[in-house]
Amino acid sequence: MAAGHSLADDLRSTAARHGDRPAVIDAVVTLTYAELDRIAQHVCDALRGLGVQSGDAVVWHGAKSSLAVAAVHGILRSGAGYVPVDPDGPPARAELIVGRCRPRALVADTTAREQWRTVAPDLRWQPLPTGYEEAGPLWCAIPDAAPRDRLANLAYVLHTSGSTGLPKGVVHTHASASAFVDWSVGELGLTEHDVIVNSAPLHFDPTILHLFGAARVGAAVALMPASAAPFPAAYVDFCRQVGGTVWYAVTSTLVWLTRRGRDLLPGLRSLRAAVVGGEVLQPGDVNTLFAALPAVRLLNVYGPTESNVCTFHEIRGPQPADAVIPIGRVLPGAEITVVDERLEQVEPGRTGRLLVRGTMLMEGYLDPEQTARAFVRTPDGRSWYASGDLVRENPAGDLEFVGREDAQIKSRGFRVELGEIERHLRALDAVHECVAVATPDPVFSNLITAFVTADRPDDVRPLPELLRTRLPHYMIPRHLVLVADGLPRNANGKVDRKALAELAARPSLAETPGLTLIR
């Protein structure tokens, strides 16, 4: 697509071509493209009436629903970029994200508005007309704080965990988002006859394909209710009921379905394409899927939120048990290179740092300092996003994921910086030292365990509740452990994270002398 294409254009042109076709299916209603277009126009008009202009950031905070999708399209049509905030996260984290983002306006459903009343009682909310009041009201607030400068071509800002403890706002433009949507539409052959199954929350990047891939071609997007998503049987049932044809989810969802829903998988027979990414894909899960759905196309995609999907590999049929499933080859429009510590390209087969540039790449982070740290310049003078991922090229010329060069992990498909958890553990004065470690888990990639030291067990009793009020659910450690005799140290006197990770992996952790589980 030519530069300058806007995500906001797709809904209007698709509504003109496919007005009667289903656009969004949720647990309650199905909106047609004509209806979605009309509601988005109401939201757009209301926001413009409040002074929202091109390049402004507008927060969306609310439950996932057809109305939420219409609100997102309405924000985009107003010229603003949308900033989705986790509706299930703690209000304090939403406040932190919004405080740093400095949006022109907030749009919320009633539940989210009530949360804001607890953390920001001075925000003044007014009804936002949608022309779709039967779905419940929307509310809008204009923060007192001066909004950030307008960002040219802003499409959306997604927040990921930050190693210093502060979430990072990843800024995508209409150009970078459209480049990814173009690839998705072309590679998956999306048409108006597709039903794209969405189980990710709106603040999570697979939704870019779900919402805007659908809007580009007139496909339907089916929003799985959050209450069904944790249950394999309910998950498969929803896909079956809506007749899902294309499915894009984090790898751990596939793993979880193959391990606890194997007999249910034939219920997904309407699927023609399954796309997974974000975590290492194992041959056993691939083979279970193909056994149930022999004709499905299975794509393993790779790409942090910062770059959208930038490499992919199509898996053609069952795999040997010891196969390493590659993350594959670069997408058209993206460029990658694998380099050593001096940023010089490594020989094929050698492990190195994966650098990314190209049309799908983010503009930067909201925080210029975070942006400066994330980009590097190779000896040829070109600027690249340093993904932090270690990869190597296999003899077939496909990339394989090897690991991380830092303390970032994936758990349940979510990206987690262990440093962000540690920052909140340290917030309790009684905590002397703390370390969060990850232990590999066959289903969820990693489980998090946090170790702390303190004078008395009673001093750290508030920690579980404190973490729940500050961190999203996927960042809460599975175990919080008080260590009686200080954290183990290596020869250099540094905390021995490896020893702690080994300790955390013990099934008998709770019975280990000197350790107390904090509940």
Q: Which stretch binds another protein (CB under 8 A): 176-184, 336-344, 419-427, 439-447?
A: 439-447
Smallest distance from another protein to CB 291, Å: 15
What's the helix, strand, coil split of the chain in %, to 5? 35, 30, 40
Residue (of 180, 104, 174) closest to 358 by Cα position: 180
Q: Which stretch binds another protein (CB under 8 A): 51-59, 64-72, 316-324, 460-468?
A: 460-468
CA distance 272 to 392: 30
The CA distances from residue 339 to 155, 382, 409, 461, in Å, are: 31, 13, 21, 46
Burial class (CB in 10 A: 0-12, 13-18, 19+), 499: middle
Any contact of residue 134 with another protein (CB under 8 A)?
Answer: no
- Classify strands 105-109 and 81-85 as parallel, antiparallel or unpaired: unpaired
Q: Which stretch binds another protein (CB under 8 A): 154-162, 223-231, 317-325, 336-344?
A: 223-231
Return the residue of 47, 108, 435, 463 that touches another protein, per CB under 8 A.
Answer: 463
Which amino acid is residue 360, in one-letter code? M
Nearer to another protein, 117 or 468 (CB): 468
Q: Which stretch binds another protein (CB under 8 A): 35-43, 180-188, 417-425, 465-473?
A: 465-473
Any contact of residue 264 with another protein (CB under 8 A)?
Answer: yes
Smallest distance from another protein to CB 457, Å: 15
Return the residue of 124, 316, 494, 519 that touches another protein, per CB under 8 A.
Answer: 519
Any contact of residue 473 with another protein (CB under 8 A)?
Answer: yes
Smallest distance from another protein to CB 453, Å: 18
SS3 278: coil
Residue (of 138, 143, 153) closest to 119 by Cα position: 143
Cα 367–chain centre separation: 19
Residue (of 226, 239, 228, 232) closest to 196 by Cα position: 239
The secondary element (H helix, E strand) that includes residue 314 is: strand 311-315
Any contact of residue 489 with another protein (CB under 8 A)?
Answer: no
DSSP letter (8 states) at residue 198: E
Return the residue of 208, 480, 487, 503 that touches another protein, per CB under 8 A.
Answer: 480
Return the residue of 79, 169, 213, 477 that touches another protein, per CB under 8 A.
Answer: 477
Return the residue of 40, 208, 374, 467 that touches another protein, per CB under 8 A.
Answer: 467
Return the residue of 125, 256, 385, 451 that touches another protein, per CB under 8 A.
Answer: 256
Return the residue of 5, 262, 272, 432 that touches another protein, per CB under 8 A.
Answer: 262
Return the residue of 218, 261, 328, 352 that touches another protein, per CB under 8 A.
Answer: 261
Any contact of residue 479 with another protein (CB under 8 A)?
Answer: yes
Residues 66-125 contacting another protein, CB under 8 A: 88
Cα 158–chain centre separation: 8
32 close to 14: Cβ distance less than 8 angstroms: no
The CA distances from residue 166 to 148, 203, 282, 417, in Å, are: 18, 16, 32, 10
427: Cβ contacts below 8 Å, ≥ 6 apart: 466, 470
Smallest distance from another protein to CB 238, Å: 11
Any contact of residue 267 with another protein (CB under 8 A)?
Answer: no
Smallest distance from another protein to CB 91, Å: 13
What strand order describes the sheet that includes 105-109?
Answer: 125-128, 138-141, 105-109, 57-61, 81-85, 154-160, 168-173, 364-365
Smallest distance from another protein to CB 207, Å: 17
Any contact of residue 505 with another protein (CB under 8 A)?
Answer: no
Q: How far apart are the first and last CA of the chain?
A: 53
Return the residue of 123, 228, 428, 430 that touches another protein, per CB under 8 A.
Answer: 228
Any contact of residue 464 with another protein (CB under 8 A)?
Answer: yes
Q: How is residue 156 written in tokens?
A: 């959306």
Any contact of residue 28 with another protein (CB under 8 A)?
Answer: no
Any contact of residue 428 with another protein (CB under 8 A)?
Answer: no
Which residues are at the interface with another protein (CB under 8 A)? Answer: 88, 226-234, 252-253, 256, 260-264, 411-412, 443-444, 447, 463-468, 473-474, 476-480, 518-519
